[in-house]
Amino acid sequence: MATFETDKEQGTTRVGKLTFQSLPGQSYQTPLYTIYTSRGCIPNLTPDNFKNAIKTDDQSSCIINLNFWDLNENPGEKVLTSYEEHLKQKKSDDIQRPLHSLLNLKDYPVIVNIRDPQFAQQTCQANDKCPYGDTEMGRRKTNPESFNKLMQQMKPELLVPLHDASVHDVVHVSIDLPGKEEQRPSKKILKCVERSKKWISQTSTVPNASNLLFPLVAQTRPESLKQFLDQSELKESYRGVLLGDFGIMPPNKRSALLKACIQEVKATKLSKLPLFISGQDHPYDVLECVQQGVDVFDGVYPFKVAEFGMASIYPLQIQQNQTEMKMNLRDVKFVRDVKPVLEGCGCFTCKSHTRAYIHHLLNAHEMLAEVLLTILFLMVHSHNVQHYMRFFEAIRKSISSGTFEEYKNTFIKNTI
């Protein structure tokens, strides 16, 4: 069972906390970033290293985001079944959470989503028969029966039921925005909603899966959302709402649409639940979404920035001076710069290495440089991930102290 409580609310912005029955005594402060994984692993990082590197304060913010298509491929049902047998023989308590044990993520709650924030457009597509997704081994199909079976084995703390997540390209022209004349939804959207309703109903029946996120599909219209929820016997099982189709939407449309969607949710029985969003990870987008009331995020921003040899340096407090978002450590101006990447940052990279050293590694095309930037403690103390988590901490603090608006406005105005 997952529960959500709001600690402080300021307009639509709020600070809250999530708790899970499987992890008693722990709470997870929102707004928060769920840690991105690829094929069940935090990129370049072993779970042990990750655990050692994340400071105690940050442990309270760590929820691991796993991708269903990865898990379906590997470990998959067969491996997990034999692992369960092994745990039974050993009479291990890990049998309660076999997936967490297998991935060495026992200390963290996990969320299983069918959308990969890195490939929001093509992670999960669908035709009339079934949803399908891309994996390392190629395109794979699934169906509600095998999805349920796998989830029953995996026992994630939060679970997104199967739905059609393939309408990003048409959604923004079809939604009824407030004040606009009603437009007829396209056939594609109607089909998407119909399929999704069917699959959500079928995959919300995983025994013991009381922690479902309700996926708001194709920006479901208020009347159809209400109707679906009224008919659904599972409404009591939903523990959150996933706003999923904002991946490639132009920012000028996204803001109005997000507002409209959140209003729709607030008018239903799901109004008190936390709001999750997929694929919105740029700090500007995060601030915008937090302002609208979104609580939980996923994304690959820290890793993507590091891939280009960049270190995040955006401000973590209200700052009146103009500052850059990121620092290009490949730039020749750092060749003799012996300062840390970001002065005052307590991460392993900044404590142990200089800009000149990382510049040298990047230009010498050595692996270590990207490793240092992306992860925390020799593949682990990543400056960017740490900085990103500090960014969410700064957001929480600013909401608690009533200065979020000022933080957001100065951040957007003064960063380049």
Binding mask 173-212 for Zn ion (x = CB under 5 A): ----------------------------------------
Q: Which stretch binds Zn ion (CB under 5 A): 120-128, 192-200, 293-301, 381-389?
A: 381-389
Q: Which stretch binds Zn ion (CB under 5 A): 23-31, 98-106, 113-121, 380-388?
A: 380-388
**Residue 197 CB, nearest distance to Zn ion (Å)?**
46
Buried b (16+ CB within 10 A) or exposed e, 400-410: eeeebeebbeb
Query: Which residues make Cβ contacts (< 8 Å) with residue 141, sequence separation at least 6?
Result: 130, 131, 132
Nearer to Zn ion, 80 or 342 (CB): 342
Task: In whole angstroms, give the CA distance from residue 384 to residue 339.
Answer: 17
Classify strands 138-141 and 158-159 as parallel, antiparallel or unpaired.
Answer: unpaired
- Known binding residue 365? Answer is no
**Residue 353 CB, nearest distance to Zn ion (Å)?**
9
**Residue 346 CB, nearest distance to Zn ion (Å)?**
7
**Residue 60 CB, nearest distance to Zn ion (Å)?**
20
Looking only at residues 32 through 91 of this chain, which bind Zn ion when binding is defined by CB under 5 A? none
- Known binding residue 261? Answer is no
> Is 296 a binder of Zn ion (CB under 5 A)?
no
Nearer to Zn ion, 88 or 351 (CB): 351
**Residue 53 CB, nearest distance to Zn ion (Å)?**
12
**Residue 383 CB, nearest distance to Zn ion (Å)?**
3
> Is 390 a binder of Zn ion (CB under 5 A)?
no
Nearer to Zn ion, 20 or 348 (CB): 348
Nearer to Zn ion, 383 or 396 (CB): 383
> Is 380 a binder of Zn ion (CB under 5 A)?
no
Instruction: Give the position of tokens 């794979």.
Output: 140
Sole binder of Zn ion in the list 383, 390, 396, 408 (CB under 5 A): 383
- Known binding residue 383? Answer is yes
Looking only at residues 334 through 363 of this chain, which bind Zn ion when binding is defined by CB under 5 A? 345, 347, 350
- Known binding residue 100? Answer is no
**Residue 34 CB, nearest distance to Zn ion (Å)?**
21
Q: Which stretch binds Zn ion (CB under 5 A): 139-147, 272-280, 378-386, 393-401?
A: 378-386
> Is 316 a binder of Zn ion (CB under 5 A)?
no
Task: In whole angstroms, give the CA distance from residue 205 to residue 173.
Answer: 33
Nearer to Zn ion, 99 or 342 (CB): 342
What six digits make up the tokens of 239? 């523990």
> Is 261 a binder of Zn ion (CB under 5 A)?
no
**Residue 364 CB, nearest distance to Zn ion (Å)?**
21
Nearer to Zn ion, 195 or 383 (CB): 383
Q: In three state form, how does the secondary structure of the chain look? A: CEEEEEEEEECCEEEEEEEECCCCCCCEEECEECEECECCECCCCCHHHHHHHCCHHHHCCCCEEEEHHHHHHCCHHHHHHHHHHHHHHHCCHHHHCHHHHHCCCCCCCEEEECCCHHHCCCCEEECCCCEEEEECCEEEECCHHHHHHHHHHHCCCEECCCCCCCCHHHHHHHCCCCCCCCCCCCHHHHHHHHHHHHHHHHHCCCCCCCCEEEEEHHHCCHHHHHHHHHHCCCHHHEEEEEECCCCCCCHHHHHHHHHHHHHHHHCCCCCCCCEEECCCCCHHHHHHHHHHCCCEECCCHHHHHHHCCEEECCCCCCCCCCECCEEECCCHHHCCCCCCCCCCCCCHHHHHCCHHHHHHHHHCCCHHHHHHHHCECCCEECHHHHHHHHHHHHHHHHHHCCCHHHHHHHHHHHEC
**Residue 342 CB, nearest distance to Zn ion (Å)?**
5
User: How many residues line the site for Zn ion (CB under 5 A)?
Assistant: 4
Comparing CA positions, the residue from 324, 329, 333 lying closest to residue 369 is 329
Which residues contribute to the annotated binding site for Zn(2+)? 345, 347, 350, 383
Which residues contribute to the annotated binding site? 345, 347, 350, 383
Binding site for Zn ion (CB under 5 A): 345, 347, 350, 383
